[in-house]
Structure formats: C-alpha cells, structure tokens
Amino acid sequence: MRRPLIAGNWKMHKTVAQARALAADVVVAVAGLKGVEVLLAPAATALAAVAVIARPQGLSVAAQTMHWADQGAYTGEVSPLMVAELADYVILGHSERRSLFGETDEALGRKVHAAFAHGLRPILCVGERLDEREAGQADAVVLGQLAALDGIAAQEAAGLVLAYEPVWAIGSGRACDAAEAARVMGVLRTALGARFGAEAAASARLLYGGSVNPENIAAYLAAADIDGALVGGASLEAEPFAALVRAAADQGAPAHEAFS
C-alpha cells in the first residue's frame, strides 16, 4: 500500500523569514491529517529553517537539486552530505533544471546514485515538452529520461519517487487531463516493473505535477497509478496547499481512521 505524498516545490520563492512563516502555517493547517505524507521543498537557503519546523511535526523536507560530489571546488553547489543533514528527499531533474541549467540524464544518474548513497530519496522528475507531445513522442521522452536510473538496485527503486511533470502543464494553468496523466504514469510504472521487478514497481510512488490545484487534485488521486502530486504555485500559501493534503488524506485513510 503506497502512502500518498503531497509535495510542495517552492522553487525560487520565499526568504528564510517567509519560509519559516509558511512552514509554520502548513504545519498547523495539516495537523491531524492521517494517511498522507506532506513534503516541503524550500530553496537551499531556507532548508535548515524549514527542517527545524517541519520535521518534528512529521512533515518531510526536500532539497530542490544538489551536486553529486560529497565536496569539492563546485562554487554555488550544495552536496549530498550537506543536504542529507537537513532533508529526507531531493528533487532531481526538474524540467527547469534540465532546460535552464543544462542538466543531463547522465548528470542526473550520478545525482540519483549519490542520493541513495547518502540516504536521501530522490524525486526524479520526467516530462515531455509540448512539441514532443505534438510529435507523438511523449512516452518515448519520459521513458528515455528513466536513463537516470541506470544501475540502481531494485531495493533502491522501491524507495524512489517519480514525478511526471509535462513541461507544458507547469505553471501554465493548463493541467494535463487526469486520464492522460494516469496513462503515461501507467507506462512509467510498467517500465519500472520491467527494469526493477514487480515488487519495486509496486512500491515506488508516482506523482503528477503541473498546474495542480484544489479543484483538480481529486481527479489525479482517483487514478490507481497516481500516488500524489508535486505542486508549484499552489504550494506557496498554506491554503490552498493544505486543501491538496486534505484531499489526499481523505483518499488514503482507511474508513475506520476517517471516523476516529
């Protein structure tokens, strides 16, 4: 049974003071909700401040990227050792990292390995651009991006989070139709099964990302292969983010829990 995960990717928003306030508001807004994992991914500067607020309350924390080396002459980067002190997860391969900062599947492969080596769970993002979708290449593109998982063990794959974020749906208000997202994510889970075995594929969690909001979240969560959401814009305020968490909590809680 996969636990739903609602992850807020704050991108390059929030000063430390603002991040502290938002984390505290989210903690209050989601208190008592069961059957759902809540994750906050602040900017690197706010990671420590958010971790101190969120983790003792059972929320998880993620970095938005990292280098693969433990240390070295990589000005501006943060290392897996540094991230592992503060976070549980690391988002890797977000389309903004790929398109704006030149991240390749090869570099992402190194980062995925480094994450597992340091006890961090990668949230690997995949997704096609609009021109790729229009050319009928969506499935091929996302399957190709699984190259970043080359060489990982089945046991590691079981702990993986894979986020399907069609590039054209990110920040556009044009969310991917839930049935189509579920189809692509079924293709991804099948591919995980072929590479890492049925058990790992059944344990790995798949998130949808791209213009998720409180109105459309239920449609995604209703799909068998969609285990939660990676949320940008709607995670920048406690509400509507908490509304997304409530939707997943209702979904994930067994009946007896829902009435207790």
Positions touching ligand 13P (CB under 6 A) are 9, 94, 165, 170-171, 209-212, 230-234
When the beta carbons of 9 and 203 are compared against ligand 13P, the nearer one is 9
> Looking at residue 207, what DSSP letter applies?
E
Considering the complex, what minimum distance in angstroms separates the CB of residue 55 from ligand 13P? 21
Handedness of CA 229, 233, 236, 239 (dihedral sign): negative
Beta-bridge partner residues of 122: 90
Considering the complex, what minimum distance in angstroms separates the CB of residue 170 from ligand 13P? 4
When the beta carbons of 33 and 229 are compared against ligand 13P, the nearer one is 229
Considering the complex, what minimum distance in angstroms separates the CB of residue 45 from ligand 13P? 18
Residue 203 CA to residue 206 CA, distance in Å, equals 9
Q: Is 113 a catalytic residue?
A: no
Which position has the token pair 């994930």?
Answer: 252
Are the beta carbons of 165 and 230 closer than 8 angstroms? yes
**Which one of the listed residues 94, 96, 103, 132 is annotated catalytic?**
94
Question: Could you give the angle at the alpha carbon of 145 between the alpha carbons of 98 and 169, nearest 5°?
Answer: 60
When the beta carbons of 80 and 233 are compared against ligand 13P, the nearer one is 233
Paired sense of beta strands 60-63 and 37-41, if any:
parallel
Question: Could you give the angle at the alpha carbon of 101 between the alpha carbons of 99 and 103, nearest 5°?
Answer: 75
Considering the complex, what minimum distance in angstroms separates the CB of residue 181 from ligand 13P? 13
When the beta carbons of 203 and 211 are compared against ligand 13P, the nearer one is 211
Considering the complex, what minimum distance in angstroms separates the CB of residue 35 from ligand 13P? 22
Going by C-alpha positions, the residue among 142, 140, 60 that lies closest to residue 95 is 142
Question: Could you give the angle at the alpha carbon of 112 between the alpha carbons of 154 and 22, nearest 5°?
Answer: 115
When the beta carbons of 94 and 113 are compared against ligand 13P, the nearer one is 94
Q: Is 165 a catalytic residue?
A: yes
**Which one of the listed residues 37, 103, 132, 165 is annotated catalytic?**
165
The tokens for 71 are 């240390």
Catalytic residue numbers, as ranges: 94, 165
